[in-house]
Structures are given as structure tokens and as C-alpha cells.
Amino acid sequence: MLISRLLFIIFLLASCGVWAGYPEIPADKEVISIPSKLGTVTFAHKAHSGLKNVDCKTCHHSYPDADGLQDCHNCHKPKAGDTIKAKEAFHTRCRGCHKYTVDSGEKGGPTRKCKLCHQ
């Protein structure tokens, strides 16, 4: 009886996003389309959030307000001054993580072939 109660509590915590300590990704942000000159990048936000060694702070590294996470473009603007532009931020963060994953012997995303992301 005690084990079934414990399993039930663990299930509830995990399903509510409390287990990881991070908010649930809203349905309209599960897949994000990022337009660019080379072609739209479709980012599987929800799929990436479930990867090991990845949490919200991996990408949402700055929290300008207390209400929650910000869209990358809110800070990484062409004329933001003290921050790099979104394009550079995405290329550094995304390709860097993909390369790290591949170098550690696991399957990772593209690192050099632009059209694998930009379609």
C-alpha cells in the first residue's frame, strides 16, 4: 500500500512538471518556427526539453522578469547593445550543443549543413 502511494505521488509530481522544477511548455510553444533569410528553422521545443543534460536554463539563460521565461528575440535583438544577435546566439548555442552531443558519442543534430535546419 505504501509503495503504491509513493508511486502515485511520483507520477503526480512528474506529470505536473514539478519533479523537474521547471514549468510545462505551453502548447503553442511545443514547436517553434523561426523565420530566417536562408529558410525557416522549425525547432522541436518540447522534444529538446526532454533531453538529458538539458533544462530551461540551457537556452533561457537570462530571466529579465520574474513572471517567467522570455523569448530569445526579446533580448537578442539586432540593436540590443550588450547582447549578441539572435542568429549568432542560435548558431553558437544550437550547433555547440549538437557538436557536444555528437562528440560524446551520441546522436545529435546538424552542425554544418545549413539546410538541415533551414528549410
**Span 55-98, pLDDT tens digits:** 777 787 766 555 566 777 777 877 756 677 888 888 888 888 88
pLDDT of residue 17: 44
* Segments making up each domain of the chain, as ranges: 23-116
Computed over every residue of the chain, the mean pLDDT equals 75
CATH class of the domain whose range is 23-116: alpha beta
pLDDT of residue 39: 92
Single out the residue of 109, 69, 79, 67 nearest to residue 91, CA to CA. 109
CB 98 within 8 A of CB 109: yes
pLDDT of residue 20: 47
Q: What is the pLDDT of residues 51-66, one digit of tens each?
A: 877 777 778 776 655 5
Beta-strand ranges (E) seen in the chain are 32-34, 41-43
CB 76 within 8 A of CB 89: yes
Stated pTM of the model: 0.64
Place of cell 540593436: 79
Other C-beta atoms closer than 10 Å to the C-beta of 62 total: 12
